[in-house]
Amino acid sequence: MKAGKVYFIGAGPGDPGLIPLKGIKALEEAQVVVYDRLASPQLLAYVKQGARFVFCGKEAGKHSMAQEEINEILVREALRGKKVARLKGGDPSIYGRVGEEAEACARHGIPFEIVPGVTSGIAAASYAGIPLTHREWSSNTAFVTGHRCAGNEGKETNWQAASGFDTLVVYMGVKNLPYIRQRLIECGKPPATPAALVRWGTTGDQRTLAGTLDNIASKAQEANFEAPAILIIGEVVRLRETLGWYEQKPLFGRKVLLFQSEPATRGDGRLLEQWGAETAEVPVLPEPALEAERVLQAAESSDWIVFADVWEVQFFFQALHAAGRDIRNINTRMAALNEGAAAELARRAITVEYDFSADYAAGSGVRPGVLGSRIGLQEGARMLLLSPDYTGINAPYSEDGVCWLLAGMSRQKIRATAYLAELFRERGFDTLWIGDVRAMYALQELANREPELASRLLCIPEFICVGEGTAAVAGAYGWKVTRTIREGESFVIDAVEWLNESRMEGSALHQEFAG
């Protein structure tokens, strides 16, 4: 059997946006993903359905796997012909032990690639507002380890040499802070030299504790400041007072889990990230319904087709193309319930003769009879409504003399259950954000299918629905909606109002770590 391949990927220290493009491509191809707690689990969203996840821990003093066991897994899976992604926090070559893991592959003739990442010493400092070099304060920087163990006896950091650098970045030093302080001061580093600890840098859990070389150890003990953290020593630390930016964002510290099926026209996740929230998006990809042929037959005999959203338009035309039919041979008029459906029809050069989006932005939950009265239908008209509110074809019925057939061209399902489980392994969420009614149907289907995941989702304190139709469906299923954000032109207004309230609630947050 031909050997597979191992990709050692530098994932960055936590912010999933810092992973290199080459790392994303490797994840998309991977069949097995071996990752540790310092790599953002949000990156697992890039992994294809059916891939296997292997969590190897690597928490200080609490490794769930020994290094030798990790090496064995990489070798074993690659020898089985698998493409393996070894996802490592920060940069794999900077205290990431990639040398040992790559050597294990080389001994067995397994091809591998190393994809560099942003090391935590650089990224955490930047997100804390501390530039490691500065024309006035620092012309050189050293990266050292503060970790001492039996395996590196006789190879301890040369503190005499380290003390001579303008800026010193110490990895894995929290446990040995008193010793590091003692050695640097003994080697001539002024006790008053500014120092800062940055914990969980680039994530919503980031905390910065500032002090001096002399008192940073005692301040860390008082604040119960734990690993993982980077220690930065040097005059550049003073600049964080004016250059700190990340922890100043209004939603900093808020963790939001998003379910959204609509194509990224609004960009909910991007907006929340710009405001400082740490987001994780769960892909909701509708699947074609099984009764597409019957829907097409109904379309041919209908006077109007009303599309509730963009997915109904896309799946309708996909079914039309698969059946070898031409829309020009279907003599019917088209209407759209929301902006997405109208835009998708226009993109296909289809005339939208009635656009309900100004009145029914949700594109869902609207009584057919109300739609008919707005159009001014004549008695005997035949209407086909394609909406995510329906699965397959419902029995036709009449209202005000108009014959309605209610159907759905798709069904909603979340297949990324393994990804969701990994998200909940290491962290909780403050807000559950449901971006549209399709996502709500998918969430409920997931809750019915995966009760353990459902219980975790129910523990999230804030439940936000975008669209009154989405909130109505959530309420009907028994979810406790804490806030509804309107769609369309009101979206930004409502979102900013929520932002301002969240900012007020969190104004005193993290003050215990103020420098």
List the catalytic residue out of 5, 15, 58, 309: 58
User: Using CA atoms, how far apart are residues 37 and 62, in angstroms rounded to an integer?
Assistant: 11
The rounded distance, in Å, linking the Cα atoms of 38 and 97 is 13
Q: Which residue is catalytic, options 5, 15, 88, 172?
A: 172
Strands 402-408 and 392-393 turn out to be antiparallel
Phi/psi of residue 23, each to 5°? Answer: -70, -40
> Is the CB of residue 187 less than 8 Å from the CB of residue 160?
yes
Helix (H) or strand (E) holding 354: strand 354-355
CB count in 10 Å sphere of residue 265? 10
The single-letter code of the amino acid at 22 is K
Return the exposure string of 433-457: e unless at least 16 CB atoms fall within 10 Å of the residue's CB, then b.
Answer: bbbbbbbbbbbbebbeebeebeebb
Residue carrying the six token digits 């057939």: 405
> Rounded CA gap, 267 and 271, in Å?
6
36 is catalytic: yes
Distances (CA, A) of 37 to 11, 34, 81, 171, 464: 11, 11, 26, 16, 28
Element of type H or E holding 270: helix 268-274
Question: From the candidates 15, 36, 166, 268, which is the catalytic residue?
Answer: 36
- The residue whose two tokens read 């010193």 is 168
For the record, the structure tokens of 167 come out as 């800026």
Amino acid, single-letter form, for residue 359: D
DSSP state of 267: -
Question: Do you find a cis peptide bond into 228, omega within 30 degrees of 0?
Answer: yes
Catalytic residue status for 58: yes
116 CB-near residues (< 8 Å, 6+ apart): 10, 20, 91, 92, 93
Helices (H) and strands (E) in the chain, counts: 18, 24
Task: Give the burial class of 384: count Cβ atoms within 10 A of its Cβ; 0-12 exposed, 13-18 middle, 19 or more buried.
Answer: buried
CA 235 to chain centre: 35
**Residues 6 or more apart whose Cβ sits within 8 Å of residue 490:** none
Q: How far apart are CA 156 and CA 391, in angstroms?
A: 65
Question: Which residues, listed in sequence order, are joined to residue 7 by a DSSP beta bridge?
Answer: 85, 113
CB of 133 closer than 8 Å to CB of 100: no
Work out the burial of residue 323: count CB atoms within 10 Å of its CB; fewer than 13 is exposed, 13-18 middle, 19 or more buried.
exposed
Residues designated as active site: 36, 58, 172
